[in-house]
Copies of this chain bind each other. A is one copy, B any other.
Amino acid sequence: MEIRKNETQLVCIAKFIAKEGEVDQLIKNLHSLIPITMQEGGCIRYELNQCIDEPNRITFIEKWYDQVTFDAHCNKPYIVEFFNDGKPHHVKEFEVTLHKELLP
């Protein structure tokens, strides 16, 4: 069977490791981005998760309509502000990866 790919949409996995003692504030900052981001038309999924074995590891699982709407998201003032201000205070490691879904 041929593996079909969703060529338009983007899946984003954004992993943050909080600095010692900063995870609650990091969660609060990231969580506050959810309602405003979900109003962006291109936002298909925007779910915040905390790792069970490693509670300082916080991961957004995101799905976006396309590269354009994802880029627009990254340039929203609330996202820019988090990366300029919240992230340097609370985050010691950060990884973002972009993916294409291989459909069922």
Interface of A toward B, CB cutoff 8 Å? 1, 3-9, 11, 13, 27-28, 31, 34-35, 38-39, 41-42, 44, 47-54, 57, 59, 61, 65-66, 97-104
Instruction: Check B57–A97 contact: CB distance below 8 A.
Output: yes
Contact yes or no, B104 A34, CB < 8 A: yes
Give the secondary structure class of A's interface.
mixed
Task: Identify 22 residue pairs between A and B in the complex whose beta-carbon atoms are under 8 Å apart, listed by A's number.
Answer: A6-B41, A8-B41, A9-B41, A13-B61, A35-B103, A35-B104, A38-B103, A38-B104, A42-B65, A44-B65, A49-B99, A49-B100, A50-B102, A51-B98, A51-B99, A52-B100, A53-B97, A53-B98, A54-B97, A59-B99, A61-B61, A104-B104
Number of copies: 4
List chain B residues, Cβ under 8 A from A9. Answer: 41
Of chain B, the residue at the smallest CB distance from A100 is B50
Residues from chain B with Cβ under 8 Å of A44 in the complex: 44, 65
